[in-house]
């Protein structure tokens, strides 16, 4: 019996070690076979783009950069820095060779550093950061509204004077002009997820009061009576994102592509049907699956569902309660509304 227990224990320990080594191998980021040994950061680079030179899954770059004490904050990487790839205990590590500080007597001078490179191209998402974009049911109920333009005008543009009513008490000097847009609903159960708030323009308060006098200082389209007004938020700079997979299973759908296009590709913005309610956060990466639909078997004549195929990756950059805005980072085929998104 003791010998049998010894054999079983030995087999158990062997299997445990084998599973552990296999798990470690599958969880370590895979390097591209053509990855460079070193790379000099260029103006206009993004962290995602640099990571794509080294890794098969670029969104996993924090796993190799955060292990390196020399890169305490991966976002503080500048043009001119040199990134060097090494293997340590079988795992990839990326080290940075930073540009030196030059000391000149009697003071210390440093070479000017350009802005740290962003995770993703700022131009792709900047216009989606400061406006509300999505409101809950009745979310604009307490907003003010454009009543009419000066001299009875109903089509207003930049520098037009308008009269507004119903404004909530506020010391705000500037207001967002919004117009209700699409209603977002869950494509499976029909649940109302939110309503798009189209940013029509911005107005400056001239004379407050029950009927306030305002000037349109910026317009993205024609401003009309009935458009709604809310105090403008402070300008939002480009956040730094740390890509990561959600720690739990997430599954939803692409429910809109701003601009009304039928197909989208890399660096396109999409709206997905999951948000903070599903613990989705900015920086979360999801894979996109193409639902090819149904087909008929030519032999049995039976109808069957074609297996889903991976179409690309997206990264959430702004999350609301029930929906999120995301940027398509990779696409191997055209991406459509109603494609599935899920934890990679």
| Average pLDDT value over all residues in the chain | 80
**What is the mean predicted confidence (pLDDT) over 21-37?**
68
Cα–Cα distance measured from residue 77 to residue 83, given in angstroms and rounded to the nearest whole number: 9
Same domain, yes or no, for 112 and 134? no
Per-residue model confidence (pLDDT) at position 103: 44
Helical H runs in the chain?
2-27, 47-54, 61-65, 122-125
* Residue 307 lies in domain: 251-342
Per-residue model confidence (pLDDT) at position 339: 93
* Confidence grade of residue 102 (pLDDT, cut at 50, 70, 90): very low
More confident residue, 87 or 226: 226
* Confidence grade of residue 211 (pLDDT, cut at 50, 70, 90): very high
Asked if residue 237 is part of any domain, the answer here is no
Asked if residue 134 is part of any domain, the answer here is yes
Output phi, psi for 100, to 5 deg: -80, 150
Same domain, yes or no, for 102 and 36? yes
Q: Is the pLDDT confidence value at 110 over 80? A: no
Q: Provide the number of structural domains found in the chain.
A: 3
Per-residue model confidence (pLDDT) at position 329: 92
Same domain, yes or no, for 46 and 136? no
Same domain, yes or no, for 133 and 223? yes
Q: Is the pLDDT confidence value at 220 over 50? A: yes
Asked if residue 122 is part of any domain, the answer here is no
Same domain, yes or no, for 52 and 87? yes
* Confidence grade of residue 237 (pLDDT, cut at 50, 70, 90): low
**Token pair for 241:** 């994102």
- Residues in Cβ contact with 72 at an 8 Å cutoff, skipping those fewer than 6 apart: none
Least confident of 4-18, 98-112, 189-203, 251-265: 4-18
Q: Is 178 exposed, middle or buried (0-12, 13-18, 19+ CB in 10 A)?
A: buried
Per-residue model confidence (pLDDT) at position 31: 87
**pLDDT exceeding 70 applies to what percent of the chain?**
82
Supply the CATH number for residue 322's domain: 2.40.10
Residues in the chain: 344
Asked if residue 47 is part of any domain, the answer here is yes
Same domain, yes or no, for 324 and 264? yes
Cα–Cα distance measured from residue 285 to residue 287, given in angstroms and rounded to the nearest whole number: 7
- Per-residue 3-state assignment (H helix, E strand, C coil) for 329-340: EEECCCECCCCE
Per-residue model confidence (pLDDT) at position 293: 79
Same domain, yes or no, for 194 and 288? no
Domain end point (choices 231, 261, 293): 231
Asked if residue 2 is part of any domain, the answer here is no
Least confident of 31-35, 69-73, 264-268, 272-276: 69-73
Q: Is the pLDDT confidence value at 70 over 70? A: no
**What is the mean predicted confidence (pLDDT) over 117-139?**
76
* Confidence grade of residue 109 (pLDDT, cut at 50, 70, 90): very low
How far, in Å, are 65, 116, 154, 194, 226 from residue 181 at the CA level?
A: 42, 36, 20, 10, 13
Per-residue model confidence (pLDDT) at position 100: 47
Q: How many CB atoms lie within 10 A of CB 47?
A: 24
Domain end point (choices 56, 87, 117): 117
- Per-residue 3-state assignment (H helix, E strand, C coil) for 238-297: CCCCCCECCCCCCEEEEEECCCCCCCECCCCEEEECCCHHHCCCCCEEEEEEECCCEEEC
Domain end point (choices 87, 117, 147): 117
Q: Is the pLDDT confidence value at 89 over 90? A: no
Least confident of 56-65, 103-112, 219-228, 266-275: 103-112
Same domain, yes or no, for 332 and 310? yes
The model's pLDDT over 323-340, given as tens digits with 9 standing for 90+, comes to 999 999 999 889 999 999
Taking alpha carbons only, the member of 280, 270, 274 closest to residue 314 is 270
Asked if residue 276 is part of any domain, the answer here is yes
pTM over 0.95: no
Cα–Cα distance measured from residue 305 to residue 293, given in angstroms and rounded to the nearest whole number: 6
**What is the mean predicted confidence (pLDDT) over 290-319?**
89
Q: Is the pLDDT confidence value at 289 over 90? A: yes
**What is the mean predicted confidence (pLDDT) over 67-74?**
56
The model's pLDDT over 140-185, given as tens digits with 9 standing for 90+, comes to 777 899 999 998 888 898 899 999 999 988 888 999 999 888 899 9
The model's pLDDT over 40-61, given as tens digits with 9 standing for 90+, comes to 888 888 888 888 888 888 888 7
């Amino acid at each position: 019996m003791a010998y049998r227990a010894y054999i079983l224990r030995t087999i158990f320990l062997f299997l445990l070690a084998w599973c552990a080594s296999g798990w470690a191998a599958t969880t370590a980021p895979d390097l591209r076979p053509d990855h460079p040994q070193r790379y000099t950061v260029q103006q206009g680079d993004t962290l995602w783009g640099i990571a794509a030179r080294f890794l098969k899954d670029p969104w996993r770059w924090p796993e190799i950069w955060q292990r390196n004490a020399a890169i305490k904050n991966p976002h503080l990487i500048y043009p001119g820095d040199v990134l060097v790839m090494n293997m340590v205990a079988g795992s990839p590590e990326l080290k940075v060779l930073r540009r030196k500080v030059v000391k000149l007597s009697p003071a210390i001078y440093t070479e000017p550093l350009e802005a740290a490179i962003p995770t993703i191209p700022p131009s792709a998402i900047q216009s989606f950061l400061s406006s509300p974009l999505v409101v809950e049911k009745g979310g604009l109920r307490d907003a003010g509204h454009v009543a009419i333009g000066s001299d009875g005008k109903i089509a207003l543009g930049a520098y037009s004077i308008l009269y507004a009513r119903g404004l909530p008490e506020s010391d705000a000097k500037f207001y967002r002009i919004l117009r209700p847009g699409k209603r977002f609903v869950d494509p499976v159960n029909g649940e109302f997820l939110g309503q798009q708030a189209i940013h029509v323009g911005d107005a400056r308060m001239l004379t407050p009061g029950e009927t306030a006098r305002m000037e349109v200082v910026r317009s993205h389209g024609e401003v009309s009576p009935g458009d709604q007004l809310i105090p403008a938020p402070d300008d939002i700079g480009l956040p730094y994102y740390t890509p990561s997979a959600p720690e739990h299973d997430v599954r939803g759908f692409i429910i809109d592509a701003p601009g009304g296009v039928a197909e989208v590709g890399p660096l396109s913005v999409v709206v997905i049907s999951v948000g903070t309610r599903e613990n989705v956060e900015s920086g979360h990466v999801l894979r996109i699956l193409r639902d090819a639909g149904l087909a008929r078997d030519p032999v049995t004549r039976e109808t069957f569902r074609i297996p889903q195929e991976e179409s690309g990756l997206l990264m959430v950059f702004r999350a609301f309660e029930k929906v999120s805005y995301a940027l398509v980072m990779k696409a191997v085929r055209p991406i459509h509304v109603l494609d599935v998104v899920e934890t990679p």
